[in-house]
Structure 1
Amino acid sequence: MSFDFRLPRRDLLKGMGATGLGAALGTGSIRPLYAKGQAPITIVVNQSPWFASFRRTVEAYEAATGNKVELDVNPFAGSLEKQRNSVRAQRGQYDILIMNSGWFTEMYAGGFLDAITDIDPGFKLDPEIYTLGDTIYYNAQKKTVTADGKLMSLPVSPLIPLLYYRGDLYKQAGLAAPKTFAELEANAARFHKPPGMYGIVQRGARGPHTVAYDFYPYLYGFGGGIFKDQSAGDYSVTLNSPEGRAALDYYIRLARTVGHPKTAASDQAEVIQAMVTGHAAHIMMVIAAWSQMDDPNKSAVVDKIEFAPPPSQPGLPTAPGLGHWLAGISRNVPDDRKRAAVEFLRWFQTKDAQMETAKAGGIPVHAAVYKDPIAQERKYRWMKPLAEALPHAVNIYQFPEANDVIAVLEIGLNRAVAGEISSVDALNGMSAEIHKIMEKYSYKTGGLQPLK
């Protein structure tokens, strides 16, 4: 799918600044941030709430350089399938892969990407780019993401969930944004008046990475986790800990007492819809949906939604799960397309390009944007809580077989939310299956005694 619309250059320069477009990057010799006359490239990307902003940023790049970029847009699962097929072909169809947090390690460990600095040793990562738990690097010897590895990708969208809440209702009630789970539950109960208003609407549907992703802020916010210490290579399964049980019990209790009666069937679209139509007092949603809240064509609650870091237990930090997206360059494409892909990424990481992303409704990956006066504007009121939460974001998976584990979580959590099995049975069952997966792939692993 190709997007041929191009922004007029004069409009682009008004938004980005002619000086910024020709500035130097990093130290050393002065060079343009991008090079014109590059080979056309194709980017495979998923359709998601942040896609429109990415498309507009790509259009800005085309307008600035004259270089051509084709976007192949797919559903979440379809994008992964196309990437897997392309990287295993003799010649790849896609030059840049937009990879989710659930599968980028698969691409690293499989040797399907070329390191950016192997293609262009002169490439310098902008020091204010969020490295998102150093997930843009990979050390092949250690088989883990670590800053001493090679630069394998560039962040595209630093997605984490935030708490969206009805600021107008909070103001009327004289409440402050909840910082603990107890406060969130109490506030949700206060506003819960179904069917007109639900205290909170949660995602519980089974999907490629659906209910599991929305459960992470609760699991880690209660002090739980899936593995003991991935960075140290210890994949002992800790999901069925007392903290894990407290988190899942809480998630289910919210759904049953102050939530939507069809939580187990609710996916991202239904959760967002509940908020923009004024039927939810709270949602815990990936920040990419922020622009829909103030879109008068979609929202009945324009300027009424506020944002906060996800709550946590007292004494513990907020712990949103990284659901970010990274851009890597496929190894099995011609060299001229690899170089063209590097030029796109060189441009994409600049503050000016990331300002364009923010103005288009996206989530910038450059820290300077969050310090810019734009962050003080009412429209961008989500920037401050996002910047507060990002340093605490948890990289959930550091191994290439993560999708096997996610599939287990999707089934078990969905069944628990639906009331088909108890939280104890769900956690014990998921933990046992995850332990088998880690044994199958020869990881150092173990487990806890089953919950009773």
Structure 2
Amino acid sequence: MRIHGSRSAPAVIALALATSLSLASCGGGGERPNTDVGKGTGPVADPASPQTVTFFSWVGNEPQMKKMAAEFHDKHPNITIKFENAPAEQAQQVLSTRIAGNTAPDVAYINASDTNDYAARGALVDLGGYMSRSQVVKPDDYVDGFKTFVTWNGKMWGLPFDGETTGLFYRTDRFKEAGLAGPPKTWEEFKAAAAKLTDAANGKYGFEMFASEAAYYFYPWLYQAGGETLTQDGKDVAFDSAAGKTAAAFYVDLAKYAPRDYFNSNSYDGRVAFAKGDVAMYVAGAWFAGTLADEYPKITGKWAAAPLPDGAAGCKTTIAGDSLVMFNKTKVSDAAWLWMEFLSQPDNLAAWTYKTEGTLLPPTKALLGSDDLAKEKPVLKPFADLMACGVASAAPNPKYPRIETVLNEELSKAIYGEQTPAEALDNAATQGRAILARG
């Protein structure tokens, strides 16, 4: 599920969970994808007559996207890109409604974690045929975590386009005041630092938590403890394992070091507490670095980023991203592919991600490890390095978004102290297994 990093304001997880729920239950399922689309030999040729490719997204008004569309049209004069825009927080619902009404666009920019759900409902084109003919798009070029998002039943149904990893932001000034030499590297150090940085009587806290985003920010701890969301075959809930309960106990206990007033907030709105110095540690994606630099330049030099502390399973972190997909109702699939392929050129991926004022990461190994990224956007280097530890929260079952909604609700109750962490996982697992059992 894509939570943060959108070119507009980051999406609130509560909205994302709700729209994922409606997405999973809306119509459009059961269709068989056209497996012949993209088959052939040699590079895809331009159309002989004018064609229009509809492109759905919440980024169509971005200057860089408009610039790339103009450059594309110059190279492919018979293809016009028609932007169809929706607000980021409404995009999933709008697109799902269009799929159900058989009015899907040709291409869309979507939350990468939604790709397998659309694919499972037969709404997308298997891109294998096109990729086999491309000199630009090669599956092995993509970071494994990003590729996981767009893979279903062993096939790629989307092209990773941008993303981020989740890391630790910390106030270096608050750490210095508390006598802490640097960021915590283990769970034990993290909890000890959170306690030392907390002075609730004076409105100072070590950490910030958001009950409305409980599931998403639980996942790094789950993976670090050696747990998983679902079993490998995707047929059963796995987060209620012993490892999962260890992670939940640690995660929920951090609430005592967090300002309760922000529990019902979200991680975008909650940025204010970190900016003011009321909170010393903040777990977020790379988007947060850009937000701090843009909105709070006065605290530059008073914060830094670091990897999340290691758990029993070592270095693990969540990743999120966006992908490009082609819908199987398209009548201009070759032209649509040429647009997707153009956007996937290395210079365009760089221009869209780290060579802008934002802090998105490119999805390819070559760009992530490049000297150019470190030079152009040094603040992104720790997050690029974290990609080796990235785990894609794309559970192998299209019903998982509904389970995640339940998990979020139950963990939220635990954060508020209404039940124990173990009870939260048990309750979520019981409801999750009922969801999996339904047809």
Q: State the TM bucket, normalised to the shorter chain.
A: 0.7 to 0.9
- Residue number in structure 1 paired with 2:242: 242
Shift of 1:243: 2.2
The one-letter amino acid of 2:320's match is G
Asked whether 1:219 is paired with 2:218, we answer no
Does residue 183 of the first structure (1) align with residue 182 of the second (2)?
Answer: no
Distance 1:176 1:385, change over 3 A: farther
1:131 to partner: Cα distance:
4.3
Tell me how far 1:113 sits from its aligned partner. 0.7
Q: Does 1:350 align with 2:345?
A: yes
1:113 to 118, 121, 124: 124
| SS of match in other structure, 1:382 | helix
1:97 to 1:369, Cα distance in 2 relative to 1, 3 A: same
Query: Partner residue of 2:300?
Result: 302
Relative distance call for 1:42 and 1:187 in structure 2 (3 A) is: farther
Residues of 1 paired with 2:349 and 2:421: CA distance?
Answer: 42
The number of aligned residues is: 387
Counterpart residue number, 1:79: 91
Return the alpha-carbon distance in structure 2 between the equivalents of residues 385 and 435 of structure 1. Answer: 35
Once residues 97 and 41 of structure 1 are traced to their aligned partners in structure 2, the CA distance between those partners, rounded to angstroms, is 10
Whether 1:312 and 2:291 are equivalent positions in the alignment is no
Of 44, 48, 58, the residue aligned with 2:56 is 44
- SS of alignment partner, residue 135 of structure 1: helix
SS at match of 2:317: coil
* Partner Cα distance (1:35, 1:165) in 2: 53
- Pair 1:192 & 2:198 matched: yes
Cα distance, 1:356–1:217 mapped onto 2, change above 3 Å:
same
Q: TM-score, normalised by structure 1?
A: 0.76
1:237 shift after superposition? 2.4
Counterpart amino acid of residue 325 in structure 1:
D
> What is the CA–CA distance in structure 2 between the aligned matches of 1:166 and 1:196, rounded to whole Å?
15
Structure 2 vs 1, CA of residues 121 and 424 (structure 1 numbering), >3 Å: closer, same or farther?
closer
Matching residue's letter, 1:221: Q
Flag the 1:267–1:367 CA change in 2: closer, same or farther, 3 A. same
Q: Distance in 2 between matches of 1:41 and 1:111?
A: 20
Deviation for aligned residue 1:329: 0.8
> How far off is 1:45 after superposition?
3.1
After superposition, residues 34-73 of structure 1 pair within 5 angstroms as 39-46=51-58, 55-66=62-73, 67-73=80-86
The residue that corresponds to 2:35 in the other structure is none
Q: Aligned AA for 2:217?
A: D
| 2:209 corresponds to 1:202 | yes
* Residues 1:154 and 2:151 are matched in the alignment: no
1:25 matched to which residue of 2? none
* Aligned counterparts of 2:113 and 2:371: Cα–Cα separation in 1: 34
**Mapped partners of 2:427, 2:235: distance in 1:** 17
- TM-score between both structures, scaled by the size of structure 2: 0.78
Partner of 1:277: 276
SS in structure 2 opposite 1:281? strand
Q: Residue 436 of structure 2 aligns with which residue?
A: 438
Letter in 2 for 1:182: E
Residue type at the aligned position of 2:210: R
Amino acid at match of 1:237: V
* Cα RMSD after superposing both structures: 3.1
Give 1:378 shift: 8.2
Contact kept in structure 2, 1:204 and 1:413, CA below 8 Å: yes
Report the alpha carbon displacement of residue 320 of structure 1 after superposing the two structures with TM: 1.8
Among 392, 413, 416, the alignment partner of 2:414 is: 416
Answering whether residue 257 of structure 2 is matched by residue 251 of structure 1, we say no
Alignment-derived partner of residue 13 in structure 2: none
Question: Is residue 181–residue 312 contact of structure 1 (8 Å, CA) maintained in 2?
Answer: yes
Aligned partner of 2:191: which letter? Answer: E
Return the offset for 1:39: 4.0
Could you report, residue by residue, the CA deviation over 1:29-83 in whole angstroms, capped at 9, with x for unpaired residues?
A: 7899x9999744443335xxxx69x93431231242335341513243x222112
Q: Go from structure 1 to structure 2 and tell me whether the alpha carbon gap of 1:69 and 1:425 turns closer, same or farther (over 3 Å shift).
A: same
Shift of 1:410: 1.8
Deviations, residues 368-405 of structure 1 (Å, cap 9, x unaligned): 33333333348422223433334432444111112211
State the match for 2:115 in structure 1. Answer: 104
Secondary structure of 1:317's partner? coil
In 1: Cα distance, 2:406 partner to 2:248 partner: 15
1:118/1:128 CA distance change after superposition, 3 Å: closer
Deviation, structure 1 residue 174: 5.3
Inter-CA distance 317–348: structure 2 relative to 1 (3 Å threshold): farther
Identity, in percent, stands at 18
CA distance in 2, matches of 1:120, 1:368: 18
Residues 13-42 of structure 1, C-alpha deviation per residue, up to 9 Å, x if partnerless?
Answer: xxxxxxxxxxxxxxx97899x999974444
Three-state SS of the structure 2 residue aligned to 1:326 is strand
Q: Describe the superposition over 1:187-238 as per-residue Cα deviations: whole angstroms up to 9, x where unpaired.
A: 2222223455321112211xxxx321111001111222232x32xx253323
Aligned 8 A contact 2:170 2:304 in 1: yes
Are the aligned partners of 2:163 and 2:320 in contact in 1 as well (CA < 8 Å)? yes
Letter of the 1:354 partner, please give it.
Answer: L
